[in-house]
Amino acid sequence: MPLKKYRSVDEMPSPAWCEALDPANLRRAGDVSALAARLHPRRFPAGLHRYRSIEEASRAREAWELRDIAPSG
């Protein structure tokens, strides 16, 4: 596939947009969601957790979100 270099954004062709009410848009959105889930699946802690305050629940959520985005290795 040949590459074409542009000197400015004005020289670039406009992207092909989808029609607003195109029924295929729902399928495209589903495909993008499925791709995101495969590339970086969300992992929620199992079970029911009780917290004494909103602050404690927020700290626990921040901890598992940080654990979810931490590089594995």
Q: What is the pLDDT of residue 34?
A: 95
Distance CA 35, CA 14 (A): 25
Residue 16 has a pLDDT of 78
What is the rounded CA–CA span in Å between residue 51 and residue 49? 7
Residue 44 pLDDT: 79
pTM of the model: 0.48
Tens of pLDDT, residues 13-65: 888 788 888 889 999 999 999 999 999 887 778 899 999 999 999 999 999 88
Task: Tell me the DSSP string of 15-69.
Answer: P-PPPTT-THHHHHHHHHHHHHHHHS---PPPS----SSHHHHHHHHHHHHHHHH
pLDDT at 72: 59
